[in-house]
Amino acid sequence: MCAGSLPPISGRPIPAESSHVMPALPYFALVGPTANEDRLRRTVREFLAHELPADYRPGLGMTSGWNSEFSRRLAQRGWVGMAIPKAYGGGENGAVERFIVTEELLAAGAPVGAHWVADRQTAPMILRYGTEQQRRRYLPGIAAGRCFFSIGMSEPEAGSDLAAVRTTAERVEGGWRVIGTKVWTSYAHLSHYLVVLCRTSRRADDPHGGLSQLIVDLSSPGITVKPIQFLSGSHDFNEVVLNEVFVPDDMLLGEPGSGWTQVTSELVHERGGPDRFLSTFALLRLFLRKHGEHADREAVGRLVSELWTIRQLALSNAAMLDNGTASPVAAALVKDLGTRHEQLAVQTIARLAGIDPDPFSEDAFENLLAEAIMAAPSFTIRGGTSEVLRVVSARAMKA
């Protein structure tokens, strides 16, 4: 494997009669390439080589920055909203094809923040649970790279334990009155909408019951977006306070009380993709360019082999999305293994480089290493803590 680029391995499960088949892990099948997918990967790489300047400084995966113009140029190539049906402005492609495009974007550290959430999970949720009116209202804008969403799940007292959500939505004439606070809402200060998980009723015997999802216009009266800055001073995260925000009835996503089922299916898209193991790939590439000649080959080899294995699991998860067998457990395993790998990669690269990186350095590698060291503790938290993910996996194995 060339450490400077991702190999063109993608596509469909390898037939059982193949001599190259390895025993499949639970929930996973070995996936191999197709010629069309190889061509797609080459086309995306050519696009990125043209779009990103020679002195472009990559970021850390899905947090590489917000650039709405870049998102629109991707959309013009059909690479945003790829899984959205053509009737709603999308490309009607499969999850594996989308995996290829997003993998290349993340590997390059491209600025994907603007369209990321809408493309990754909001569009599939609206397509599955939304009304026809909602599909026609939001999906074409998402596919065009012009309609951006944030996630409204976590709260100050409810992170991975979403059953503890306290944000409430009370029935009023014509809609809902929403009161509560959401945190860690990436790019809420720039997005158009926030999909809010809230409590619309309560049953003492069922903490998962009575949850619903609402599509909230972030320009609505009563909304305050407060920045949560990183140690470096950068600003992606926000606290969103909803103070008696009116949400019309036609902005309810799915059925009242079905929020838990819906958000669980949403996490399959959020946890099982390449964004959970490729945050540090650009850092690894910069390290090898600068220090690769004298690097500890065994340590680098361990990182690369682990990366390759997790990538195959995530690719299998994409194939499961395509064939309708997607599993929250499979996605949880990918996320748990992937984010731990990302933290290990930062630790290993920092040790091998042997420097105290300056976050304000003009050197691209040193600058990104400093950013990665500060961001790494969050890898195993965002999208669900490792502890919660292991409980999800353990319960499924026990069953």
Q: Are strands 149-152 and 193-199 parallel, antiparallel or unpaired?
A: parallel
Contact 68, 145 (CB under 8 A): yes
How many whole angstroms separate alpha carbon 346 and alpha carbon 215?
A: 36
Q: Which residues contact 110 (CB under 8 A, 6 or more apart)?
A: 48, 51, 52, 58, 64, 70
Closest Cα to residue 95, out of 31, 23, 191, 18? 31
- Which of 97, 104, 155, 270 is labelled catalytic? 270
How many whole angstroms separate alpha carbon 36 and alpha carbon 44?
A: 12
Q: Which stretch of DSSP H or E encloses residue 197?
A: strand 193-199
Q: Which residues contact 141 (CB under 8 A, 6 or more apart)?
A: 147
Burial profile 187-224: b = 16 or more Cβ within 10 angstroms, e = fewer:
bbbbbebbbbbbbbeeeeeebebbbbbbbbebebeebe
Q: Specify the residue for token string 């340590």.
A: 299
Contact 304, 3 (CB under 8 A): yes
SS3 399: coil
Specify whether 51 is catalytic.
no
How many whole angstroms separate alpha carbon 273 and alpha carbon 321?
A: 11
Closest Cα to residue 344, out of 318, 317, 305? 305
Active-site annotation, residues: 270
